[in-house]
Structure 1
Amino acid sequence: MKLTVVGGGSTYTPELVDGFARLRDALPVTELVLVDPAKDRLELVGGLARRILARQGHDGRITTTSDLDAAVDGADAVLLQLRVGGQAAREQDETWPLECGCVGQETTGAGGLAKALRTVPVVLDIAERIRRANPDAWIIDFTNPVGIVTRALLQAGHRAVGLCNVAIGLQRRFAARLGVAPGDVHLDHVGLNHLTWETGVRLGGPEGEDVLPRLLTEHGDAVAADLRLPRALLDRLGVVPSYYLRYYYAHDEVVAEQRGKPSRAAEVAAMERELLELYADPALDEKPALLARRGGAYYSEAAVDLAAALLGGAGAAPYQVVNALNRGTLPFLPDDAVIEVQAAVDRKGAGPLPVPQVDPLYAGLMASVTGYEDLALQAALHGGRNRVFRALLAHPLIGRYDRAERLTDQLIAHNREHLAWA
């Protein structure tokens, strides 16, 4: 089985390789190709990846290359984890929106739109090259903004499923607090990528006992602390929002915090420099503890579970939280919207499980952000200042024409080198 990782020079990659090594029975990878234009980083990451496999007795082969076409040739699945513009572009996404009083974040708001505009054309070009090399290959998209990127892939007819680590992270935390195995926890997870709520926490599967009320009663303070939201809010909602909902529920508080400290991008860039120094040590043959602070917790487990299910691996989890086409699952959204819910995953792809009626408090915000994502995708595909303005005006974190005008000018100015039409 051949897997290819586009963006294989990422400091995330050793986390992924560690998962492939540990979970080899579920996903027997014989060749793992890491492809990245940054050759120096790629060799450091590739060297550590080989040592991780050797330490764990895995006989798979790791290849590193900057040749995308060679990398995807014959691949059974391709994982996308690229970042167009690197951490420098992320730094901009997280800073210039603050000048207009808006949250600075790389996956939502104005910064998220900038990332989508840079990313969608590149991903679609990669996907076409994958299709030419192997039309049966699955594309697993971990590249943000996952919802918009996955929608672009599916709209273009590619065999793609979007993946995020928010749900698996919450599953692991809830399981630890409840004193059960992670596999025993099934989340009633509903929403869009980075806009989700846990409306139930079930033991044993989709029909199991809902222990969310007990979780909130016994562990509400700890859950609220993880989310950096008030315990009283969780009690009133009766659900667990993802930590990305803090950008909506506490927007002005977040903006004030961001203005008073270095950006997350600056922190990650410093961390990446330290990680690459560690990766250069030929004695290092396991993922370093520092990698846990980089982000993407449990990414490897989620990626292995998804790839194993799509490729027919033994023991693949039958239900997984993924990003897939709505197709009537949430009747208040278009069929071609991409939603993030529990789905049955197999060789044919991901089919969302039925979702109970969604509270208007959440359905309204989902519908609003879905409208933004539609406009964002049009801007990414076709360009033009007016399309960018319309997407920004539609976003519920912006929503004022004067802000949208300023943010449009800022976005184009900071991303001109990545926008073919600008």
Structure 2
Amino acid sequence: MKKDRLKIVTIGGGSSYTPELIEGYIKRKDELPIKEIWLVDIEEGKEKLEIVGNLAKRMVENAGLDWEIHLTLDRREALKDADFVSTQFRVGLLDARIKDERIPLSHGLIGQETNGAGGMFKAFRTVPVILDIVKDMKELCPDAWLVNFTNPSGMITEAVLKYGNFEKVVGLCNVPINHIMHESKLIEKNPDDLFFHFAGLNHHHWHKVYDKEGNDLTELVIEKMFNSNEPIVKNIRYIPFFKEQIRDLGMLPCSYHQYYYLQDDMLKKELEEYAKNETRAEKVKKVEAELFELYKDPNLKEKPAQLSQRGGTYYSDAACELISSIYNDKRSTMVVSTRNNGALADLPYDCAVEVSSIITASGPKPINFGKLPTAARGLVQVMKAMEELTIEAAVTGNYGTALQAFILNPLVPGGQIARTVLNEMLVAHKKHLPQFAEAIEKIEKGELK
């Protein structure tokens, strides 16, 4: 039965993104009858939780709303009888992300938050935590929807489906909506007058564009894209794709495909930043520190413009529109990570994919894309196999499975370098990888080299 007043929980509530989320709820105050919002964090995030939580209270009060804002370190208290749970946490905080980027780069490999070695280690640290959260949800709020923003979003969604045996989960990312807004502007169209058909995996998808008359505008958008040097997402340094390749593909690539299609150029740029201690993670840490200084201002009662530099543009629109569409059965078309159910013919039926979907009261209904072109099919099948192995290793702590995932990843060369980077990162992240304790002990003893 549809509830009259909603309890919404955000795990990772001390995140710098939270004001954007609160802004999104305020914008939808007539669609979502919110009673209480619980912001949850851990002891290490207590100070940030209080700073951002107080800003959230000021924003809600300034909007003239009677919503209760609760701040807590007690996850179970927050989850009891929740209707929607969003997750936006980072195990190991930004210092862990810095290691994810700098350690691979020190060996001449791409260092990136959700791709390559760094992305796999983010999954290793995060999967056990999300499964613990799901365990609590099944006990305390079994009917709630889990809206996951925690990266790597697609792998986290699949872990919940496959190992958490929890169906009411949707993975979200702001990259598709960035593409939609950017490309609509390129061809001078209103996004509402276009249909963007996305298919693939989180941070590894392609899409086609159509107008209301059913005309395929993909080729036009491709041409316009190559006449623009404007980056689509702020957190990825823009390097133009090869026009001939993209034309042949007949689909628009995700910004993150730069790491695969232009690997040497992207690595060169990253190594320059690494040498200057200016990796993306190190920049984000500085931006976040500045944001929290702004958030402390008792006169600040709205989301500051500087938050857009953090890389989360349209974050609230994605999260809040999803929640509203489920609650109100709006049937909005959104790009989400959800169970494939045959939408992508080239991937397993039960795996998580990121695909355009109709959002109903019973969750996302993926729109069938069919078969991908050969070039996309080959790459996405390798990436899905890598994701499956990464999730399995995160759950089991099996060193051989982790090594298998490393060797399969297109951004990690095979051979001894894969093993060396894997070992170094296991030791570096030891505190947050209890499932790998046996392997880490062997590495530290010199038994695994």
TM-score with structure 2 setting the length: 0.89
CA deviation vs aligned residue, 1:135-173 (integer Å, no higher than 9, x gap): 100001110111111001011221211111111111111
Whether 1:82 aligns to 2:52 is no
Query: Which amino acid in 1 is paired with 2:97?
Result: R
For the 8 Å contact 1:319–1:342, the answer to whether it is kept is: yes
Across the two proteins, how many residue pairs are aligned to each other? 417
Instruction: Choose which of 89, 95, 100 in structure 1 pairs with 2:102.
Output: 95
Matched ranges for 1:10-409 at <5 A:
10-37=15-42, 38-155=45-162, 156-158=164-166, 159-198=168-207, 200-204=208-212, 208-222=214-228, 226=232, 227-230=238-241, 232=243, 233-261=245-273, 262-312=278-328, 316-409=330-423
Instruction: Tell me how far apart the structure 2 counterparts of residues 202 and 28 of structure 1 sit (CA, whole Å).
Output: 35
Instruction: Tell me how far apart the structure 2 counterparts of residues 193 and 100 of structure 1 sit (CA, whole Å).
Output: 26
For the 8 Å contact 1:224–1:234, the answer to whether it is kept is: no
Query: Which amino acid in 2 is paired with 1:112?
Result: G
Would the alpha carbon gap of residues 236 and 331 (structure 1) be closer, same or farther in structure 2, given more than 3 Å must change?
closer
Query: Which amino acid in 2 is paired with 1:175?
Result: S
**Offset, 1:252:** 1.6
Would the alpha carbon gap of residues 235 and 334 (structure 1) be closer, same or farther in structure 2, given more than 3 Å must change?
closer
For the 8 Å contact 1:35–1:67, the answer to whether it is kept is: yes
Matching residue of 1:3: 8
CA deviation vs aligned residue, 1:160-212 (integer Å, no higher than 9, x gap): 111111111111112223333333332111110010112x21234xx733222
Q: Which secondary structure state, in structure 2, belongs to the residue aligned with residue 209 of structure 1?
A: coil
Instruction: Tell me how far apart the structure 2 counterparts of residues 185 and 223 of structure 1 sit (CA, whole Å).
Output: 23
Q: Which secondary structure state, in structure 2, belongs to the residue aligned with residue 83 of structure 1?
A: coil
Instruction: Tell me how far apart the structure 2 counterparts of residues 164 and 180 of structure 1 sit (CA, whole Å).
Output: 23
Instruction: Tell me how far apart the structure 2 counterparts of residues 141 and 194 of structure 1 sit (CA, whole Å).
Output: 14
Q: Which moved more, 1:20-29 or 1:280-289?
A: 20-29
Would the alpha carbon gap of residues 349 and 151 (structure 1) be closer, same or farther in structure 2, given more than 3 Å must change?
same
TM-score with structure 1 setting the length: 0.95
Instruction: Tell me how far apart the structure 1 counterparts of residues 253 and 340 of structure 2 sit (CA, whole Å).
Output: 20
For the 8 Å contact 1:171–1:186, the answer to whether it is kept is: no
For the 8 Å contact 2:339–2:353, the answer to whether it is kept is: yes
Instruction: Tell me how far apart the structure 2 counterparts of residues 335 and 9 of structure 1 sit (CA, whole Å).
Output: 36
For the 8 Å contact 1:305–1:317, the answer to whether it is kept is: no
Instruction: Tell me how far apart the structure 1 counterparts of residues 114 and 424 of structure 2 sit (CA, whole Å).
Output: 17
Query: Which amino acid in 2 is paired with 1:160?
Result: V
Instruction: Tell me how far apart the structure 1 counterparts of residues 331 and 31 of structure 2 sit (CA, whole Å).
Output: 10
Q: Which secondary structure state, in structure 2, belongs to the residue aligned with residue 364 of structure 1?
A: helix
CA deviation vs aligned residue, 1:273-300 (integer Å, no higher than 9, x gap): 1111100000001111110000111010
Instruction: Tell me how far apart the structure 1 counterparts of residues 85 and 225 of structure 2 sit (CA, whole Å).
Output: 39
The sequence identity of aligned pairs, in percent, is 37
Would the alpha carbon gap of residues 214 and 3 (structure 1) be closer, same or farther in structure 2, given more than 3 Å must change?
same
**Offset, 1:344:** 1.7
Instruction: Tell me how far apart the structure 2 counterparts of residues 235 and 224 of structure 1 sit (CA, whole Å).
Output: 19
Would the alpha carbon gap of residues 59 and 228 (structure 1) be closer, same or farther in structure 2, given more than 3 Å must change?
farther
For the 8 Å contact 2:346–2:371, the answer to whether it is kept is: no
For the 8 Å contact 1:228–1:243, the answer to whether it is kept is: no
For the 8 Å contact 1:96–1:104, the answer to whether it is kept is: yes
CA deviation vs aligned residue, 1:196-234 (integer Å, no higher than 9, x gap): 112x21234xx7332222223345322675452236254
Q: CA RMSD in A?
A: 1.7
CA deviation vs aligned residue, 1:224-266 (integer Å, no higher than 9, x gap): 7545223625444332211100110111211121111111111
**Offset, 1:272:** 0.8
Query: Which amino acid in 1 is paired with 2:187?
Result: L
Would the alpha carbon gap of residues 219 and 257 (structure 1) be closer, same or farther in structure 2, given more than 3 Å must change?
closer
Q: Which secondary structure state, in structure 2, belongs to the residue aligned with residue 20 of structure 1?
A: helix
Which structure 1 segments of 5+ residues have no match? none
For the 8 Å contact 2:345–2:371, the answer to whether it is kept is: no
Query: Which amino acid in 2 is paired with 1:119?
Result: T
For the 8 Å contact 1:191–1:366, the answer to whether it is kept is: yes
**Offset, 1:403:** 2.1
For the 8 Å contact 2:187–2:224, the answer to whether it is kept is: no
Instruction: Tell me how far apart the structure 1 counterparts of residues 65 and 193 of structure 2 sit (CA, whole Å).
Output: 28
